[in-house]
């Protein structure tokens, strides 16, 4: 069952994995190079969802529902993570106006 | 009350007194200290008298202290005529001296006053433990405890640097002796597997019997034990070469000098040799060493006493010299003569020290006798008592010193072997020097005109509490000799008869020649006593030291013993300690500790560089790590 059909057309699973890899790389590079904290959070979400996509793809390909269950777990954790991250950001914004994540570098050894 | 309970009472009363005074004494009124301090000693004295008149004897075991296989240490008290004799001296003379201290220490404040009597009672307890102990372990415990109480009392005025130094010196010297004692006890235990006197002495007799315990006998072990125990005796009794602590110990209060450094503790060595006579009788070399050390110390200390100017130091050297006589006596086997001299010396030397204490008190703590002069008219009672003590020390008939000293010399003279004759010559020469230095001390202090440097113009006689014990001892010094007049060849010999059951009778006859020689010695030393008047008061005769300045210097430096010990032991030890402090302590020990700390700090500092605080750095490391992990996984599957 290595092949999938989408809207009648025939799609190889590797396409999904390639898309997922592209999304993950965009996310990772975004986290590394962007300075706006909100964008960084969004990039993290992007990476998470890329992984979710991989999980679903393999679940479908291997006919094992555990992968999809894992994706649901992952979405829940991602939601919680977004809540915590945003709450921290909101708190920081209350104290001062941060445009650049590099401004938050006081906690160094 | 039976004998074993009485013996325990003798021992424990002073301990109880010390505990009471140490616990609450200084908060209670002063009168409590004044009653409890001497009271417990007198209580012990009464209990000892009860033992004496009850003719008690026996080896009483109270409990087993240590039991480990065949090794057994009981707590037992040995009551025989020797220990009763020693207890009588310790508690009797000790009681007088502690009573005298009530007056002498009057100027101390409350806590110090109670502290003094606590120490005195601790000392009496330790000394009684030493003489009552029935085995070597408790003997050593008592032996070390008297050293401790001596240390505490010499350093009683701990605000004085010199007193603290003297206390430390005495303690170190005594610990050398303690080490000898302990090793001696080990040798005896390894040879006979017993710790009690009775067990060891039975073992010695057993080996003398048909059955030899060791191939070649146990003579070697006995000689070794004899020499090791002698180290202890020499240190405690301030004999050459471990004598240097005694003159310095005069830094302590005068009653301490009278009690510990004249009457009792320093005679512990004589007691030890007497108690161990079954060993020394079979160890001729160790026994001879006792006699030689005694004779040499007697002469040596007497010569130093000629040039001392501090009245207590003269008495200290005289004490060393007189204990030398006792060593000489027990060393040639005339045990009871040695113990009779111990008794006599306790009388007249405690008397001399306490009378000197009265003088020092009247002179506001001035101890240099060149600054006294003409005191006899102003302090007639103290001066009279001091004269009696001095004449007893010189050995003028019929004072107690004559009978005891001449009995020793007579025994040495008539024994007949070359060693005894040799020590007799030294002893007789010492007797003459004793006459001279005693005369010098008495005439300089009490005769002539008052010195211009005298601190007190019109001194006052001591209060009754300080005078009565002195007068009692003066009376004892006068009449005490009549209990044993063997030195004259006639009359009673109470002490020797009493001690015969413990140390045996004299094994040879004193001949008539000894009496004549003794009387001649006595006359000559008395003449020298009066000759000192010409030398030091009238100054009609030129002082001998003017002719031989080098001898004067040699004696004033005490034969350079302190300097030699300083160069041989103290300074090398100091040098090693300094070297260790400079080259070991700093670079090695401190270096290791500080270096460990520094290395940890440096490591932490370099690690903390990675904690930049920049979010992107952490992510980069994280991603980089993930990439490396992924690559490694891929390589493994490939």
pLDDT score at A1: 45
Cβ-based contacts of A106 with chain B (< 8 Å): 613
Whether the predicted pLDDT of B291 surpasses 80: yes
Are B226 and B276 in contact, with CB atoms under 8 Å apart?
yes
B132-141, B151-160, B401-410, B446-455: range with lowest mean pLDDT? B446-455
Q: Are B200 and B188 within 8 A, CB to CB?
A: yes
Note the pLDDT tens digit of each residue in B155-186.
898 988 999 999 998 999 999 999 999 999 98
| Residue B625 Cα, gap to closest chain A Cα (Å) | 13
Res B209: pLDDT? 62
Per-residue pLDDT tens digits for B358-373 = 888 888 888 888 888 7
Which string of DSSP letters, residue by residue, matches A63-74? T-THHHHHHHHH
**Residues B277, B325: Cα–Cα separation, whole Å:** 17
Q: Which residue of chain B comes nearest to A44, CA vs CA?
A: B619
Lowest mean pLDDT, pick from B39-43, B105-109, B295-299, B626-630: B105-109
With CA atoms as reference, the chain B residue closest to A35 would be B616
Mean pLDDT of chain B: 86
How far away is chain B from the Cα of A105, in angstroms, using its nearest Cα? 4
Is there a contact between A109 and B616 if contact means CB atoms under 8 Å apart?
Answer: no
Q: Contact, B423 vs B63, CB < 8 A?
A: no
Alpha-carbon gap, residue B113 to B116, rounded angstroms: 5
- Report the 10 Å Cβ neighbour count for B421: 14
Select from B401, B387, B242 the least CA-distant residue to B320.
B242
Mean local confidence (pLDDT), B413-438: 88
Write down the pLDDT at residue A5.
61
Q: What pLDDT was estimated at residue A3?
A: 55
Which helix (DSSP H) or strand (DSSP E) does residue A6 occupy?
A: strand A3-6
- Contact residues on chain A for B613, CB-CB shorter than 8 A: 104-108
Q: How many CB atoms lie within 10 A of CB B621?
A: 11
Enumerate long-range contacts of B168-176, CB under 8 Å, 24 or more apart: B169/B244, B169/B245, B169/B248, B170/B245, B170/B246, B170/B248, B170/B249, B171/B147, B172/B245, B173/B235, B173/B242, B173/B244, B173/B245, B174/B147, B174/B150, B174/B235, B174/B236, B174/B245, B175/B147, B176/B231, B176/B235, B176/B242
Residues A15-23: contacts with CB under 8 Å, at least 24 apart: A16/A53, A16/A54, A16/A57, A17/A54, A17/A57, A19/A53, A20/A50, A20/A51, A20/A53, A20/A54, A20/A57, A21/A50, A22/A50, A23/A47, A23/A49, A23/A50, A23/A53
Residue B303 CA: distances (Å) to CA of A109, B336, B432, B529, B551? 80, 27, 10, 14, 10
The pLDDT value given to residue A4:
58
**What are A43-86's pLDDT values in tens digits?**
999 999 999 999 999 998 888 899 999 999 999 999 999 999 99
Q: What pLDDT score does B592 carry?
A: 92
pLDDT for A50 equals: 95
- Residues B579-603: b if buried by 16+ CB within 10 A, e if exposed: eeeeeeeeeeeeeeeeeeeeeeeee
Mode of pairing for the β-strands spanning A3-6 and B71-79: unpaired
Does residue B285 or residue B534 have the better pLDDT? B285
Residue B500: the pLDDT is: 81
Helix, coil or strand: residue B181:
helix
Average pLDDT over residues B386-413: 87
Count the helix, strand and coil residues of chain B and give each as a percent rounded to the nearest 5: 75, 5, 20
Q: Which of B26-40, B317-331, B382-396, B565-579 has the lowest mean pLDDT?
A: B26-40
Question: In which band, very low, low, confident or very high, does the pLDDT at A109 lie, cut at 50, 70 and 90?
Answer: low
Nearest CA in chain A to B606: A109
Given this model, what pLDDT does residue B410 score? 85
Q: Answer whether the bond into residue B19 is a cis peptide, omega within 30°.
A: no
Q: Measured between beta carbons, which residues in chain A are less than 8 angstroms from residue B608?
A: 108-109
The B-side interface with A (CB below 8 A) comprises 607-616, 619-620, 623
The confidence score (pLDDT) of residue A75 equals 94
Average pLDDT over residues B408-426: 86
Put simply, whether the predicted model's pTM sits higher than 0.80 gets the answer no
Percentage of the residues of chain B whose pLDDT score is greater than 70: 97
Q: Which residue of A has its CA nearest to B619?
A: A32
Inter-helix orientation angle B268-275/B110-132, to 10°: 20
pLDDT of residue B214: 61
Quick check: B616 and A104 CB within 8 A?
no
């Amino acid at each position: 069952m290595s092949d999938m059909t989408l809207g009648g057309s025939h799609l190889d699973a590797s396409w999904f994995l390639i898309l997922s890899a592209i999304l993950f790389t965009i996310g990772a590079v975004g986290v590394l190079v962007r300075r706006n904290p909100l964008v960084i959070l969004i990039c993290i979400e992007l990476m998470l969802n890329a992984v979710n996509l991989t999980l679903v793809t393999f679940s479908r390909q291997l006919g094992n529902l555990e992968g999809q269950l894992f994706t649901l777990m992952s979405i829940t954790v991602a939601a919680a993570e977004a809540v915590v991250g945003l709450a921290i950001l909101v708190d920081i914004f209350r104290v001062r106006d941060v445009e650049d994540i590099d401004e938050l570098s006081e906690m160094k050894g | 009350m039976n004998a074993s309970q009485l013996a325990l009472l003798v021992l424990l009363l002073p301990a109880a007194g010390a505990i009471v005074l140490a616990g609450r004494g200084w908060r209670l009124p002063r009168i409590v200290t004044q009653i409890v301090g001497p009271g417990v000693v007198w209580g012990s004295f009464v209990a000892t008298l009860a033992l004496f008149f009850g003719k008690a004897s026996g080896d009483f075991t109270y409990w087993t202290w240590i039991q480990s296989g065949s090794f057994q240490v009981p707590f037992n008290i040995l009551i025989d005529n020797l220990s009763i004799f020693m207890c009588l001296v310790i508690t009797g003379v000790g009681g007088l001296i502690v009573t005298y201290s009530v007056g002498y220490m009057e100027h101390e404040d409350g806590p110090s006053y109670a502290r003094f009597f606590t120490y005195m009672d601790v000392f009496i307890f330790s000394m009684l433990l030493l003489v009552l102990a029935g085995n070597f372990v408790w003997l050593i415990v008592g032996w070390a405890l008297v050293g401790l109480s001596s240390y505490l009392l010499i350093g009683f005025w701990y605000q004085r640097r010199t007193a603290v130094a003297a206390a430390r010196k005495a303690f170190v010297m005594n610990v050398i002796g303690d080490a000898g004692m302990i090793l001696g006890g080990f040798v005896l235990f390894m040879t006979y597997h017993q710790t009690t006197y009775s067990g060891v002495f039975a073992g010695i007799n057993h080996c003398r019997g048909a059955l030899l315990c060791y191939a070649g006998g146990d003579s070697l072990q006995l000689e070794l034990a004899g020499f090791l125990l002698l180290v202890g005796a020499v240190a405690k009794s301030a004999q050459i070469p471990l004598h240097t602590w005694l003159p310095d110990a005069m830094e302590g209060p005068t009653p301490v000098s009278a009690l510990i450094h004249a009457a009792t503790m320093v005679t512990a060595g004589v007691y030890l040799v007497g108690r161990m006579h079954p060993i020394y009788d079979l160890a001729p070399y160790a026994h001879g060493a006792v006699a030689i050390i005694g004779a040499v110390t007697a002469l040596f200390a007497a010569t130093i006493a000629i040039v001392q100017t501090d009245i207590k130091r003269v008495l200290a050297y005289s004490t060393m010299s007189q204990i030398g006589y006792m060593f000489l006596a027990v060393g040639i086997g005339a045990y009871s003569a040695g113990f009779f001299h111990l008794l006599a010396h306790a009388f007249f030397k405690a008397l001399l020290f306490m009378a000197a204490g009265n003088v020092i008190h009247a002179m506001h703590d001035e101890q240099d006798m060149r600054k006294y002069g003409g005191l006899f008219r102003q302090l007639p009672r103290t001066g009279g008592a001091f004269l009696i003590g001095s004449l007893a020390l010189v050995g003028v008939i019929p004072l107690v010193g004559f009978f005891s000293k001449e009995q020793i010399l007579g025994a040495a003279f008539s024994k007949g072997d070359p060693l005894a004759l040799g020590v007799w010559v030294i002893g007789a020469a010492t007797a003459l020097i004793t006459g001279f230095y005693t005369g010098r001390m008495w005439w300089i202090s009490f005769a002539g005109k008052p010195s211009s440097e005298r601190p007190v113009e019109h001194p006052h006689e001591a209060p009754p509490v300080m005078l009565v014990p002195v007068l009692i001892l003066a009376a004892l010094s006068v009449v005490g000799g009549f209990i044993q007049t063997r030195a004259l060849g006639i009359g009673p010999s109470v002490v020797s008869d009493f001690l015969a059951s413990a140390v045996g009778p004299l094994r040879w006859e004193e001949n008539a020649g000894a009496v004549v020689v003794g009387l001649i010695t006595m006359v000559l030393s008395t003449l020298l006593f009066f000759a000192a008047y010409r030398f030091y008061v009238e100054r009609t005769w030129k002082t001998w030291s003017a002719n031989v300045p080098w001898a004067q210097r040699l004696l004033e430096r005490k034969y350079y013993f302190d300097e030699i010990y300083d160069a041989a032991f103290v300074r090398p030890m100091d040098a090693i300690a300094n070297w260790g402090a400079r080259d070991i302590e700093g670079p090695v020990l401190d270096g290791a500790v500080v270096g460990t700390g520094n290395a940890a700090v440096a490591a932490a500092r370099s690690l903390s560089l990675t904690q930049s605080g920049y979010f992107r750095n952490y992510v980069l490391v994280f991603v980089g790590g993930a990439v490396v992990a992924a690559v490694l996984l891929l390589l493994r599957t490939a």
